[in-house]
Chains A and B, each alone.
Chain A
Amino acid sequence: MQLIDGSKIITEACVRAGADVYVGYPITPSNWFYAYAQKRFPLFLAGPDEISVLQWMSGFSAAGRLPVTATSFPGLALMVETLNMAHMMELPMAIIVTQRLGPSTGSATTGAQGDLLLLRGAISGGCPMPVFCPSNFEDCWNLAYESIQVAIRYRTPVVLLTSKEMVMTHKSFDVSALPEIKKVERETAKVELPYQSYRSGADGVPPFVPLGDETYQVRLNASTHGNLGLIQKGSAEAMANTRRLKDKLEKNIQSFTFYELDEEAGADELIVSYGISSDAARDAVTEIRRQGKKVSLLVIKTLLPVPPAILDILERYKKQVFVEENLPGLLRELIYGQARRKNIRSVNKIGSMIAPSEILNEFAV
């Protein structure tokens, strides 16, 4: 066993997976990523602000590198326009978001789960963007790898959504139980001639060729564009290209659907959680069962786009309790909107992690 933290595990996993550039702007509680990245990434750059950070990363990505950054809400807010650009240009990159208490600057050293719906709505037009959320150190390792893998495979920015308590708490942990990570190789794309930067195959993902290529002319574009990568307004080709941004992720989502389902036979009640609240939910489930009540647990690790497999599980349970560290219940809202539903309950809290006892209260007779 060794004393280790989530920031260290995620940083190491990203580099092993093939990330080679870290561009950072310091912000609490993401600073440990910055510190570890300085030691570990092949190239480290300090940006002057978060807009620059994501623009530089987009340039690196377009040139064929795999850039990573870490930030929290105030930085993420500045990044939103460029996140749209990277999404539209189809540039692979990973953005680690360490949630902290808002609104606004809030409390920099207090954790939270308050940014899910910002990410859901970040892309204008509502296009999805993969968002993974680790619930423990194993997830930190595996989902950091998946972030890089999915970013490259589907040519998209990916968000790894963490929280202060996930990345700044030390725990004794046996790293030898983690699977080896193989570098995600970026094969030179096999393309049909003439090459068009946004012409895709059956999987909806255009083959990636970096800027500066010797053979193919690469044209990338943040405005509505046709297959060639040049601005097109309102053409059928351009609209198809825009629709493809949504379709390419939704039709491939099975390959990046991650969750943990602990089902108890005969249970009609399901606790649903994610991220930093998951461990309290695990402890609560153990206690509820010890008291002789039946309950199942779902920990969601692919938050966006919402995987159909998650919806299938939810449909099997009449009663559900969503556990998350924010006021309105953002995951619950993502799934069910604001409609009133008698059998969907929430355990919410801000200012500190939800404790197992607070979940148990919801189950007290």
Chain B
Amino acid sequence: MTPPILSRKDMPFCPGCGHGIAVKNLAKALEEAGYDPLDAIIVSDIGCAGLVDSIFATHTIHGLHGRAPALALGVSLGLIDPDKKVIAIQGDGGATIGLQHLLEAARRNVDMTLIVLNNLLYGMTGGQMSGLSTQAFKAGHLIEDDTPPFDVVQLMHEAGAAFSCRITAPGEFKAHFIEALATSGFSLIEVACLCPSHGVKKLKELADVAMGDLKLAYERAPARAEYRETAPLFGLEKPVATANRSTIKERLGLVIAGSAGGGVQSAARLIANAGILSGLHVTMKGEYPITVGAGFSAAEVILSRKPIHYTGLESPDVVVAVTEDGMAKARSRKKEHTTLVLDSKLREEAFPNAIYGDFQKEGGKQGAALYAAAFWLVREGVLEIEALLEAARKHKHSEALVELIEKAGTVNSER
């Protein structure tokens, strides 16, 4: 004989409240199914249904309005011993405000039982209507709202709950609870309840206003939490020593600008990596609108002899722009001393001293940015072509990148 599930016989509810009957049925079901109190975790919501903690001898956790099913989901998937039973209890108000949580737990078929004590109204705040209040009930309360209620049993079934059931019949209904508790996966029981203070006061009237009994099953595997072993994102090994191969004196700030999908970010990252391989300190950051697949794409790279603290680039030394979108960036970033490296199609009189090249033609849509930047960096001796090639060889599309950089380097040697 296991110890009793309830620690008290008196109920914390108003006399005649339907919640007491439901809670006693649940306790009997747990006892009959052989649960020790510490095998169960009661997750309670806010509202009258949330008063249950004190009468249970189980583990209890009392959370927020409408959130008990979400809290229970976390408990269930976090359990050190997954055989423990997680039972969430909420009212129809809680189910309304947190409907997303019910749907999500059912969709994932998380191993837990949810009991919705539906007294057709918000009891604690004065008897207001909830999303589960029926039309028949509302009509009797002079409420000018004939919107039909959510059928949570049907909804949970549609969302993927293994078991969902509504009880409106008075008396002992622990058999349904036993069935729900035995379910592997998400089970829901909605119990129509009396509310002697604001709602239906007689059992025989309940059947007239509540939605009818319903029981639905859906056989599918429950959610399981698999805690995996993973590899570190990086180790703490000493870095490989790099030779100093750059000609820059102190620091060089570079902006690369083009269009989304033009390889601007990966070009900047490659250049930053080549900078590291050349013994420099580097930073690299991207700038793009929130629609990453359209509009401009720009990136800043700083190459420096000394460690870099502030990573902003107030006054870039060189701005590379290969498309019209990029040109707009070039205009906004250019300072007096800035060198512009532009695709020849962007030729415009505002920049008489810009360096032009057929970058789009030679590098292609996705390669123009890297092609243009590599062309200028190698030409100026900022980076050796070998450092760029070494960085490119580590890339997943290394072949195309190596070819592009070699081509950009050849242009230089032909000049």
Contact = CB atoms under 8 A, between A and B. Distances in A.
A and B are partners in one complex rather than unrelated chains? yes
Nearest to B312: A353
B282 A211 contact: no
Contacts of B109: none
B156 interface: no
B312 A64 contact: no
Contacts of A355: 310, 312, 314
A61 B79 CA distance: 10
B264 to A, nearest CB: 14
A8 interface: yes
A310 interface: no
Most buried by B among A15, A39, A56, A136: A56
B230 A41 contact: yes
Contacts of A70: none
Interface stretch (A114-122, A144-152, A257-265, A277-285): A277-285
Nearest to B302: A171
Interface in B280-302: 280-290
A275 to B, nearest CB: 13
A178 to B, nearest CB: 6
A59 B76 CA distance: 8
A12 to B, nearest CB: 5
Contacts of A353: 310-312
A43 interface: yes
A48 B37 contact: no
Contact of A220 (B61, B81, B309): B61
A280 B273 contact: no
A8 B236 CA distance: 13
A242 interface: no
B200 to A, nearest CB: 27
A51 interface: yes
Most buried by B among A15, A48, A58: A58
Interface stretch (A125-133, A221-229, A244-252, A313-321): A221-229
B308 interface: yes
Given A178-B236, A355-B312, A55 B78 contact: no
Contacts of A171: 281-284, 308, 311
A283 B101 contact: no
B155 interface: no
Contacts of A64: 78, 80
A219 B59 contact: yes
Contact of B289 (A89, A109, A230): A109
A42 interface: yes
Nearest to A223: B62
A289 to B, nearest CB: 14
A58 B233 CA distance: 26
B290 A108 contact: yes
A2 B281 CA distance: 10
Contact of B59 (A61, A172, A218): A218
B230 A45 contact: no
Given A62-B74, A217-B37, A172 B276 contact: yes
Given A85-B64, A217-B58, A62 B75 contact: yes
Contact of B41 (A8, A40, A212, A222): A212
A176 B238 contact: yes
B310 A212 contact: no
A333 interface: no
A43 B226 contact: yes
Interface string A204-245: 000000111111011111110000011100000000000000
B67 A82 contact: yes
B211 interface: no
A60 B78 contact: yes
B282 A172 contact: yes
Contact of A1 (B41, B228, B269, B276): B276
Contacts of B64: 55, 81-82, 85, 222
Contacts of B372: none
Nearest to A229: B60
A362 interface: no
A219 B226 contact: no
Nearest to A108: B290
B290 A28 contact: yes
A49 to B, nearest CB: 7
A276 B306 CA distance: 20
Interface in A60-115: 60-65, 67, 81-82, 85, 89, 108-109
Interface stretch (A153-161, A162-170, A301-309, A339-347): A162-170
B31 interface: no
A137 B80 CA distance: 34
Given A64-B80, A212-B75, 4 more contacts: A20-B227, A39-B233, A40-B233, A212-B79
21 contacts: A2-B239, A3-B272, A3-B282, A23-B74, A39-B230, A42-B229, A42-B230, A56-B70, A56-B74, A165-B285, A169-B311, A170-B282, A170-B283, A170-B285, A172-B281, A214-B38, A217-B37, A219-B61, A230-B60, A279-B309, A279-B310
Q: Which 5 A-B pairs have the closest CB atoms?
A: A59-B74, A63-B78, A55-B70, A60-B78, A279-B309
